[in-house]
């Protein structure tokens, strides 16, 4: 199990325990009765207009105040359905780890969640307000043109992250040189062959425990990566590393959070709103760019390693609708 998953389970357990103490006056019971799981849904998925009529609707004021004072509750209003589902899933996982049978697949609980979500319309917010498409990436890359060591590294990070199918921050920060395999050059009609490289990602968020993910780089991203490895004199170990104020390259891998900061910094230097872009914007941007350029969905998913056709196809459908005739009846 990955570090991020364990961190999320720890966070969810802390929240569930705090909620149970505030709502019932007792620690979280194992296994939890169905009534307690239903109470959790009722406290977190509620209708604001109904609360105006009935103050007892939703999370009680004393429970809300207790969670807010402890720092567990920051926003006002009902929770996001995905957050509630994730916490229930964590609750279920933790119950199974104790060798117990939970109630989390009960028809009553599933029905309660479905009806609560339907009754509380909520617009879905993207993890990144805007997608990092090809034009946005080009502006960010233009800020890496001085040739100093930091620019060489950041250029390689941006190009590798995008071209490898929009990798997650941990998947960019983590790989080592031992996970790179030089492939045969790719023949291109009317031009010289392009360098090719395979990155063996190992087990990722969307791969099974029994298998590893492999993605490929071709052309300019390979050149950018090789330029960084040569400039930093990296022959083994972590690929992307921290550079101190004196220009010394660390021997340790960068933290995933540092990848996030690089995206924010380069967006600001490019004259873009850094709040509108994040590393996760690569995920949507990559598929949007692939759809715009006519790359088949299945081929793009092989590189991005998306498991859900429904999720990946939404970017293709949106790109088609934006550029289609139906959206240009008045233009």
Q: How far from 216 is each of 31, 165, 192, CA to CA, in Å?
A: 46, 9, 19
Q: Has residue 153 got a pLDDT over 90?
A: yes
> 38-47, 222-231, 263-272, 290-299: lowest mean pLDDT where?
290-299
**Distance (Å, whole) CA 177 – CA 182:** 11
What integer pLDDT is reported at residue 4 of this predicted model? 74
Torsion of CA 84, 90, 95, 96, to 10 degrees: 130
Phi and psi at 176, nearest 5°, equal -120, 165
Q: From CA 36, how far away is CA 27, in angstroms rounded?
A: 12
**Cα distance between residue 57 and residue 50, in whole Å:** 7
Query: 238 pairs with which residues across the strands?
Result: 176
Nearest Cα neighbor of 39 from 74, 107, 88 is 88
pLDDT digits (tens, 9 = 90+) for 113-128: 888 887 765 555 545 4
- Checking if the pLDDT of 62 tops 80, the result is yes
3-state secondary structure of 278: coil
Asked whether the predicted pLDDT for residue 331 surpasses 70, the reply is no
The whole-chain average pLDDT of the chain stands at: 84
Tell me how far apart the alpha carbons of residues 160 and 148 are, in angstroms, rounded to a whole number: 18
With 0-12 CB in 10 A as exposed, 13-18 as middle and 19+ as buried, what is 44? buried
Query: Tell me: the pLDDT tens digits for 233-284?
Result: 999 999 999 999 889 999 988 988 898 889 889 999 999 888 887 666 777 7
3-state secondary structure of 249: strand
Q: Could you read off the pLDDT of 177-219 as tens digits, one per residue?
A: 999 999 999 998 888 999 999 999 865 555 554 556 888 889 9
User: With 80 as the cut, is the pLDDT of residue 315 above it?
Assistant: no
- The arithmetic mean of pLDDT across residues 298-310, rounded, is 73
Pairing of strands 191-202, 213-218: antiparallel
**Cα dihedral sign, 198-200-204-206:** positive
Say which range, 6-15, 200-209, 299-308, has the weakest mean pLDDT: 200-209
Residues of 272-298 as b/e, b for ≥16 C-beta within 10 angstroms?
A: beeeebbbbbbbbbbbbbbbbeeeebe
Residue 94 has pLDDT above 80, yes or no: yes
Low-confidence winner among 68-77, 178-187, 298-307 (lowest mean pLDDT): 298-307
Question: Across-strand partners of 176?
Answer: 238
Categorize the per-residue pLDDT at 58 as very low, low, confident or very high, splitting at 50, 70 and 90: confident
The predicted model scores a pTM of 0.63
Return the higher-pLDDT residue of 325 and 244: 244
| 93, pLDDT greater than 60 | yes
How far out from the chain centre does Cα 176 lie? 21
Q: Do residues 87 and 11 lie in contact, with contact meaning Cβ atoms separated by under 8 Å?
A: no
CATH 3.30.300.210 fits 134-323, yes or no: no
Write down the domain spans for the chain.
3-119, 134-323
Residue 300 has a pLDDT of: 75
pLDDT-wise least confident of 75-79, 137-141, 179-183, 325-329: 325-329
Per the model's pLDDT, the better-predicted residue between 319 and 109 turns out to be: 109
């Amino acid at each position: 199990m990955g570090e991020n998953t364990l961190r999320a389970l720890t966070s969810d357990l802390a929240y569930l325990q705090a909620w149970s103490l505030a709502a019932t006056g007792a620690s979280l019971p194992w296994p939890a009765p169905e009534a307690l799981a239903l109470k959790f849904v009722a406290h977190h998925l509620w209708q604001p207009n109904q609360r105006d009529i009935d103050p007892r609707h939703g999370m009680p004021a004393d429970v809300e105040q207790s969670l807010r004072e402890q720092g567990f509750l920051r926003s006002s209003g009902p929770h996001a359905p995905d957050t509630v589902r994730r916490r229930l899933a964590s609750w279920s996982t933790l119950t199974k780890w104790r060798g117990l049978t939970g109630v989390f697949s009960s028809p009553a609980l599933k029905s309660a969640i479905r009806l609560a979500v339907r009754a509380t319309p909520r617009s879905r917010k993207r993890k990144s307000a805007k997608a990092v498409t090809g034009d946005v990436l080009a502006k960010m890359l233009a800020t890496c043109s001085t040739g100093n060591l930091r620019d060489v590294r950041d250029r390689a990070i941006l190009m590798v992250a995008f071209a490898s199918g929009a990798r997650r921050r941990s998947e960019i920060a983590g790989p080592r040189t031992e996970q790179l395999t030089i492939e045969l050059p790719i023949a291109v009609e009317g031009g010289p062959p392009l360098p090719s490289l395979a990155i063996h990602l190992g087990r990722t968020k969307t791969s099974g425990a029994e298998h590893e993910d492999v993605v490929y780089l071709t052309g300019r991203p390979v050149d950018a990566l090789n330029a960084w490895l040569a400039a930093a004199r990296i022959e083994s170990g972590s690929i992307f590393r921290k550079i101190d104020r004196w220009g010394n390259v660390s021997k340790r891998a960068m933290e995933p959070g540092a990848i996030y900061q690089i995206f924010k910094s380069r967006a600001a230097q490019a004259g873009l709103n850094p709040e509108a872009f994040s590393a996760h914007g690569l995920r949507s941007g990559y598929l949007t760019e692939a759809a715009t350029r006519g790359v088949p969905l299945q081929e793009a998913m092989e590189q991005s390693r998306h498991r859900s056709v429904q999720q990946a196809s939404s970017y293709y459908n949106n790109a088609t609708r934006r550029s289609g005739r139906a959206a240009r009846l008045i233009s």
